[in-house]
Chains A and B, each alone.
Chain A
Amino acid sequence: MRRPGSASAAVALAALVAWGCAARSPEVYGRTVTLIPVESSAPKVKGELLAVDQQRLWVRTKDGVRDFAPASVREVRVRRHNLTGGWARRWGLVGGLVSGVALTASCSSVEGNDVGGCAAVGGVTAGLWALVGFLAAPSLEASSQLSVDPGSARLKPYARLPAGLPKDLAPASLEQGPPAPK
């Protein structure tokens, strides 16, 4: 008979894998993009890519709909999937916390075990999870984004409105909808 511990690990793994592999519901919004400005002192801008039109890049940011001249942008990073570097770091911290607490509690439940020693076991395990999360982050971050030249026509398919802004549409009206990516 399989032990429940193994089963739970298998379920966790399957969930993780499923999350990475599963097909998602249709994307009706534009992709999340990060604009890297030419000017090094200028802040990066993150938001939903609305359109590439009228020689401008239209982006819905947390501050509203903004447009940018492609010449002012060095690079546009287009989000391809959600397993980002930040996700890896959060996975390491949450996994480490859960695993560390569970192991400490489990170890402490055995009569005769030193609580300090058990805490050390939990701590080392949590540290391992966190370390792995932080080590995996750069690789995931790199795979989660596509770097595109701001003047390239390759950007258009990732926009909500790939054909450009419709006539008579006030760009500000596109502010509605779920919170813009931050």
Chain B
Amino acid sequence: MEEGGRHRNAASVALALLACGCAIGVREPQLHEPVVPFTAAPADSELKVHMKSGELVVLRHWQAAGSGDRLTGEGQAYTVTREKRGAPGRHDIALAEVALVETNSPETVTSAGLAIIVATTTVLGGITGYCAINPKGCFGSCPTFYVLTLDGREPERPQAEGFSESIARVLEARDLDALEVARPGGTDVAIVMRNEALETHAVRRVRLLAAPRPPGGRVLAGADDRLYPARALLPPLECLAPEGDCREALAATDGTARVSPADGGDLATREVVELVFPAGRGSRGVAVAARQTLLSTFLFYQTMAYVGRSAGEFLATLERGGPEAGRRALGMARVLGGIDVEVAEGDSPWRAIGSFDEAGPIAGDRRVLPFEASGSGPLRVRLRLTRGHWRLDSVTLADLGEPVLPFRLEPLFVERGGQRDEGARTRLLEGARHVVTHPGDAYRLTFRLPPSEQPLELFLESEGFYYEWMRGEWLAEEDSAMAALALVDPAGALRRLAPAYKTQEGRLEQAFWASRFRK
């Protein structure tokens, strides 16, 4: 069922409940002289027969008997003090002994007060129930990781950001990031995990993966998280982007990125970058190093702003809906997509070899997309990507070896505020519960590398999810129609949001880095 349809159904159920809740059933008694037939009293309705003696007989099934001077039926008799007289059974009553007959018509009265109470019970009770079952989901957003230099300094920019797409528990995921650093075997590596945003992070695991570099080469992570030794990384011979020659920008992973402006009419507009590499034969891979621009972040924040005061309900719906609802919630990100890579050799046709789709605008990542080269001619590589969505750092050709199994290392120490935090370490090791962090929190994790003759290439594996905090200033943009559009028609939303994004595109990066939250 479409998201919009489910919302409509939920709204209908809520309205029905409210309608029932506001309408309170009451009985209005009507008195009749003891002469059948009694007005508005079908034979299967309840009849209260008030006897001249003050006694009462409540009949559930009854009929007139004799020549209309008697009533017979099933029911219960009561004394004048309303104690039960005998067991329920059949009664034959002479109308001459009856003072009055009472029927009751069911009616309803409405009360705005009860509507308020039903609505409050639904909302506050729902939140309380959800939070009691899932405390971290309520009280507990994407952690950043900084690898300390050999002399213990923390770099200005993080080398990795964990599970950026896991914006709700239902989207909890494992993420692998290339740290782009190597360390000698047998040494300790210290990594600082920070929460630098108005988010709540729930981190289940943090592991360091280490694999020996081949002589003069690197180890690269594939899109399937397997690690490949790369003996050489060749820069492109040619590179053509819509703006012209892009060879210099994409030759090496040096932080100099190629980025294009987003389309002013449709944020999903795609572009093509074509590269040429020398011919090769055997196991090859196209290595792409990139990070997202702040387009995806803008869209996420804008969606949260449109949801506004219903953000809690939105997230609860997401959690209830499972992974499929989660994927739908990321609809605009899905439409923007990754960097689709195709290759062709000589005059052979294009073939797709995979996509680079690492989420997050904070730390770049590098992935290799393996393929088998025939050596039949120069290798042509074609990238299809959404304009303004990616900061392309490098696109190189790797000569790959067979995948290797890395050392998978758990943190040896976990420190917070200079003190060992065994509780946090235990949680990260066991993976059964989360380490929950709030804005400004920082944990230092120390890993001990195994002995190795070759320097060890490092990767960070993190697992968890996060919740974005609502900002007071976002509430001014609350717009349920746009929130619904983002969920139901993400492509349409990307067209509607294009002008707004273009007015901010040039200054988003600077503003984002200026907003880091540190204690």
- Point out the residues of chain A lying under 8 angstroms from B30, CB to CB: 157
| B1-34 interface code vs A (CB 8 A; 1 in, 0 out) | 0000000000000000100110111111111000
* Contact call A107/B135, Cβ cutoff below 8 A: yes
- Point out the residues of chain B lying under 8 angstroms from A128, CB to CB: 120, 124
B56 at interface by CB-CB < 8 Å: yes
- Point out the residues of chain B lying under 8 angstroms from A17, CB to CB: 17, 20-21, 118
- Point out the residues of chain A lying under 8 angstroms from B133, CB to CB: 3-5
Tell me the complex Cα distance, A136–B118, Å: 10
Tell me the complex Cα distance, A165–B54, Å: 7
* Contact call B58/A112, Cβ cutoff below 8 A: no
Residue of A nearest to B111 (CB): A143
A88 at interface by CB-CB < 8 Å: yes
- Point out the residues of chain B lying under 8 angstroms from A26, CB to CB: 46, 48, 58
Tell me the complex Cα distance, A176–B111, Å: 35
- Point out the residues of chain B lying under 8 angstroms from A164, CB to CB: 99
Q: How many residues of A contact B (CB 8 A)?
A: 70
Tell me the complex Cα distance, A169–B132, Å: 59
Known contacts A28-B82, A160-B82, A174-B80: does B441 contact A112 (CB below 8 Å)?
yes
* Contact call B20/A8, Cβ cutoff below 8 A: no
* Contact call A83/B130, Cβ cutoff below 8 A: no
Residue of B nearest to A133 (CB): B117
* Contact call A20/B109, Cβ cutoff below 8 A: no
- Point out the residues of chain B lying under 8 angstroms from A133, CB to CB: 117
Tell me the complex Cα distance, A163–B27, Å: 19
Residue of B nearest to A140 (CB): B113
Tell me the complex Cα distance, A4–B137, Å: 14
* Contact call B320/A3, Cβ cutoff below 8 A: yes
A35 at interface by CB-CB < 8 Å: no
Residue of A nearest to B140 (CB): A110
Residue of B nearest to A105 (CB): B132
Chain A positions 13-28 with a Cβ under 8 Å from a chain B Cβ: 13, 16-17, 20-24, 26-28
B322 at interface by CB-CB < 8 Å: yes
- Point out the residues of chain A lying under 8 angstroms from B99, CB to CB: 162-164
B198 at interface by CB-CB < 8 Å: no
- Point out the residues of chain B lying under 8 angstroms from A106, CB to CB: 131-132, 135, 138-139
- A-B contacts counted at CB < 8 A amount to 202
* Contact call A83/B54, Cβ cutoff below 8 A: no
* Contact call A6/B320, Cβ cutoff below 8 A: yes
* Contact call A9/B113, Cβ cutoff below 8 A: no
- Point out the residues of chain B lying under 8 angstroms from A173, CB to CB: 80-81
A42 at interface by CB-CB < 8 Å: no
Stretch at the interface among B159-167, B205-213, B431-439: B431-439
Of the candidates B58, B136, B424, the one whose C-beta lies within 8 Å of that of A28 is B58
B423 at interface by CB-CB < 8 Å: yes
The 9 A-B residue pairs whose C-beta atoms are closest, nearest first, are A139-B113, A136-B113, A5-B129, A163-B99, A5-B130, A157-B29, A9-B126, A143-B111, A5-B133
Q: Which A residues fall within an 8 A CB radius of B?
A: 1-9, 12-13, 16-17, 20-24, 26-29, 80-81, 83, 88, 91, 95, 98-99, 102-103, 105-107, 109-113, 118, 121, 125, 128-129, 132-133, 135-140, 142-143, 156-158, 160-166, 169, 173-174, 176-177
| A–B pairs, 28, beta carbons within 8 Å | A3-B319, A5-B134, A6-B316, A7-B129, A9-B122, A13-B121, A16-B117, A20-B114, A23-B106, A24-B27, A28-B56, A81-B26, A83-B111, A103-B132, A107-B139, A110-B136, A112-B436, A129-B120, A135-B116, A136-B112, A143-B109, A157-B28, A160-B82, A161-B50, A166-B54, A169-B80, A174-B80, A174-B81
| 18 extra interface residue pairs, beta carbon distance < 8 Å, beyond A95-B120, A166-B80 | A1-B322, A3-B133, A3-B134, A6-B126, A6-B129, A9-B126, A12-B129, A16-B121, A28-B82, A106-B135, A110-B139, A125-B128, A128-B124, A133-B117, A136-B113, A143-B110, A143-B111, A173-B81
